Chains A and B, each alone.
Chain A
Amino acid sequence: MRSQIQLMAEVREAFGMALNAIGTHKLRSSLTLLGILIGVFSIIVVATAIEALQGNIEKEMSQLGSHTFQVQRFPAIQVEDDMESVEKYLRRKRFYLSTARQLEERSTLAKHVGVTAEVDQGEVFSLYAKTAPTVSYRGMSPSAFETRNLVVAEGRALSETDMESARYVTVLGADLAKKLFPFGSPLGKWVQFRGVKYTVVGVLEAKGSIFGQSQDNFMSVPITTVLNRYGRETSLSIQVQSPSQEAFDDVVEQTRGVLRTLRKTPPGEEDDFEIVSNDSLINQFRSITLAVRAGAGIISSIALVAAGIGIMNIMLVSVTERTREIGIRRAIGAKKRNIMTQFIMEAVVLSEIGGILGVLLGIGAGNLAAAMLLTPPVFPWDWALIGLGVCSVVGVVFGTYPAWKAANLDPIESLRYE
């Protein structure tokens, strides 16, 4: 109890004197902590910006419906770009409408099996729009509205009849509907894409935009219509929705088994297709941003080491300047340990002030960058705390030698020091 009080008092004294000493040499101290500030700033600004973007990118990647995964030929995020691995994907068999139908028949666990194909981009015309916006043209099966998480705002979704008859009908994204039909309801009117007219049967709810990029700028038409126009060989993506989160893994396993049978994948060989879910996309994205963060981490470590040397330098000056004070303290009963504490504390406080300023400025600047990309502000607590922790370590590591030097000064000599 008593020793606790003593420790508190000593630390308090050391802290007070540290602030006192730093306050006495404002210019010198601020120049010294600038190094720390820059080091911490660089990592925090990157971490903040990434975290802000991440929230958005993750939202964007959540375009699949709940408990849904997608089966496709190519991986979602392709890291390798050498010919060999690209060829590996290209050699894979395509998914046809028949594959999806057989999958739907055979998979007993799945709730929905949807089929989509993003086959084309081009200008679309209507009688009411002055300009022809460029849109993406998607083929969809009726169940794909479920699996892609699309909600109809007006009219209806594509139906089984549309699909069976391969009708020339379309459901428009919210933005597109507004652009093509600024003055009234688009339902029942036609739009023209690549010289073919489609009747609008529905408009979707807006999904908003990410990084200023609209997510609602597309038209969807029955998948069979797409196959008629673009050929039976068009490669499709298949989405499978599980009835619940619990059944998700089972549905994935069953789908994998069925697909391997359908595609005649020899046993023991790896899948010749990719299964992508929201989670797997997010994980892949995270692993990429991790590399960016690690890079920023290395840069800021270098800056922090340089700053630490600056702190050590200024602390050595401080020890010399205060030789007399050290002598006085030793004479009235300060132990070496007390002097050590005092000077290490000074180094840590100096470094922490730089650290706190660096964190605040970093978060400010990171959010400013994020705000320009229209993302909401974030506060990366984990990185801020790590940053401050590292500052303390820097203070202790680079403050120890000057403090040791101070503690081991001869009291008699230091009392005489002018």
Chain B
Amino acid sequence: MSLIRIRNLTRHYVMGVETVHALRGVSLDISKGEYIAIMGPSGSGKSTLMNLLGCLDTPNSGSYELNGTNVADMDDNALAEVRNREIGFVFQSFNLLARSDSLHNVELPLIYAGVPYEDRRERARQALANVGLAERMHHKPNELSGGQRQRVAVARALVNDPSIVLADEPTGNLDSRTGEEILSLFEQLSRRGNTIIVVTHEEDVAQHARRIIRIRDGLIAADEVNPNPRAARLVGAAERVPAPA
């Protein structure tokens, strides 16, 4: 059974008198454990697709089944719960709470999930240790490097054990070396069985995925298996990212 099953998804926006058709009927199946890149130039509709996949938005028509439940016409509260349990977001600009330390940032999803305090703290610590930041638990985002911030964000995405990790241009704000660091982290996660969807416009980043979906003008232009995904080139960074336990 597919983890994600999308049929004829459409989404349009009314901008003044004009209607912008961002998605014109997308169908897609994603299985558990896949590592997928969604590519497309700006205006192609890839952001819209990502918002729909991440349950931040609802489609105008079509169906979206996530883990067997139809989320296309869920209400706001139900969507919030789905985002909390099923989806881990990684954003281009990290999107950490600036005034909270790493630990609090990572435990935030668990607070909304209603996990008791001790349990929550323990899981957040573990998640930070898994991305190699055991030493940085009580640092605030402005005390961390870009790569470290993005790793905190990855830890936050993973802490509630979601079905999908949804990364929107995860390396966009990083230099190429730290970018590779994050991509290598994704590879490790993928090997552990996490489902990863990376939305990007960089061919370089997309080449790490095992399947590449190209979007153009609101439709899927190509959906192909990447025969030989590129491994992250870790220049002296290997020892900085320990293998997840």
What is the interface of chain A, defined by CB distance below 8 A to chain B? 2-3, 5-6, 9-10, 13, 20-21, 24, 324-325, 327-338, 411-412, 415
**B92-104 to A contact mask, C-beta < 8 Å, 1/0:** 0001111110000
User: Are B114 and A13 in contact (CB-based, < 8 A)?
Assistant: no
Known: A2-B114, A6-B114. A334 touches B51 (CB 8 A): no
Most buried by A among B80, B83, B97: B80
Chain A residues with CB below 8 A from B111, complex form: 9-10, 13
- Check if A10 sits within 8 Å of B100, measured CB to CB: no
CB distance from A413 to the nearest CB of B (A): 10
- List 7 additional contacts besides A333-B85, A333-B113; criterion CB under 8 Å: A9-B114, A9-B120, A24-B99, A328-B96, A333-B160, A411-B56, A415-B95
Q: How far is the CB of B165 from chain A (nearest CB, A)?
A: 13
Contacts of B132 in A (CB 8 A): none
Q: Which residues of B contact A24 (CB under 8 A)?
A: 99
Docked complex: B66-112 residues within 8 A CB-CB of A: 76-77, 80-81, 83-85, 89, 91, 95-100, 108-109, 111-112
B116 at the A/B interface (Cβ < 8 Å)? yes
Confirm or deny: B40 has a beta carbon within 8 angstroms of a beta carbon on chain A.
no
In the complex, the answer to whether B97 meets A334 with C-beta atoms within 8 Å is no
Q: Is the CB of A336 within 8 A of B56?
A: no
Contact A336–B112 (Cβ < 8 Å): no
Query: Is A5 in contact with B114, judged by CB distance below 8 angstroms?
Result: yes
Bound CA span A91–B96, Å: 85
Q: How far is the CB of B158 from chain A (nearest CB, A)?
A: 12
Asked if residues B81 and A333 are in contact (CB atoms below 8 Å), the reply is yes
Establish whether residues A333 and B112, one from each chain, have CB atoms under 8 Å apart when the complex forms: yes
Cβ of B57 < 8 Å from any Cβ of A? yes
The answer on a CB contact under 8 Å between A332 and B76 is no
- The complex places the Cα of A243 from the Cα of B211 at a distance, in Å, of 103
Q: Let me know if B54 is at the binding interface, CB within 8 A.
A: yes
Instruction: Tell me the bound Cα distance from A337 to B81 in angstroms.
Output: 12
Query: How many angstroms from the CA of A10 to the CA of B109 in the assembled complex?
Result: 11
Which B residues are in CB contact (< 8 Å) with A332? Answer: 83-84, 89, 108-109, 112, 156
| Cβ contact within 8 Å between B57 and A412 | yes
B51 touching A412, Cβ below 8 Å: yes
A interface SS class: helix
Q: Give the tally of cross-chain contacts (CB within 8 A).
A: 72
Q: Does the CB pair A328–B112 fall under 8 Å?
A: no
Measured CA separation A332–B153 after assembly (Å): 11
In the complex, chain A residues whose CB is within 8 Å of the CB of B91: 415
Cα-based distance from A3 to B51 in the complex (angstroms): 29
Residue total for B at the interface (Cβ-Cβ under 8 A)? 31
Pull 7 A–B residue pairs with CB atoms less than 8 Å apart, ordered by A.
A325-B97, A330-B83, A331-B56, A332-B156, A333-B160, A412-B51, A412-B56
Distance from B155 Cβ to chain A, minimum over Cβ atoms (Å): 12
In the complex the two chains form, what is the Cα distance from A379 to B65 in whole Å? Answer: 63
CB distance from B183 to the nearest CB of A (A): 22
Shortest A362–chain B CB gap in Å is 33
Contacts of A337 in B (CB 8 A): 77
Which residues from chain A contact B116 at a C-beta distance below 8 Å?
A: 5, 9
Cβ contact within 8 Å between A334 and B80:
yes
Minimum C-beta distance from A316 to chain B (A) = 20
A21 cross-chain contacts in B, Cβ below 8 A: 99
Complex Cα–Cα for A100 and B156 (A): 91
- Whether A328 contacts B83 by the Cβ 8 Å rule is no
- Look across to chain B and name the residue whose beta carbon is closest to the beta carbon of A13: B111
Q: A24-B99, A328-B95, A328-B97 are in contact. Are A333 and B80 (CB under 8 A)?
A: yes
**What's the minimum C-beta distance from A184 to chain B, rounded to whole angstroms?**
79
- Given A6-B114, A338-B112, the answer on whether A331 and B57 have CB atoms closer than 8 Å is no
Within 8 A of A (CB), among B29-83: 51, 54, 56-57, 76-77, 80-81, 83
Q: Tell me the complex Cα distance, A10–B112, Å.
A: 7
What is the CA–CA distance of A5 and B116 in the complex, to the nearest angstrom?
6
Contacting residues, chain A, for B56 (C-beta < 8 A)? 330-331, 411-412, 415
Known: A324-B95, A334-B80, A412-B56. A329 touches B108 (CB 8 A): yes
Query: Which residues of chain A are within 8 angstroms of B89 by Cβ–Cβ distance?
Result: 331-332
| B95 → chain A closest CB, angstroms | 5
Q: Which 3 A-B pairs have the closest CB atoms?
A: A333-B84, A6-B114, A333-B112
Q: Which residue of A lies closest to B120 (CB)?
A: A9
Across the two chains, which residue of chain B brings its CB closest to A9?
B111
Judge whether A336 and B77 touch: CB under 8 Å: yes
Query: Which of A2, A13, A331, A412 counts the most B-chain CB atoms under 10 A from its CB?
Result: A331
Per-residue A-contact encoding for B150-167, CB less than 8 Å = 1, 0 else: 000000100010000000
Expressed in whole angstroms, the Cα–Cα distance for A3 and B89 within the complex equals: 25
- A residues less than 8 Å from B100 (CB atoms): 20
Contacts of A335 in B (CB 8 A): 76-77, 80-81, 112
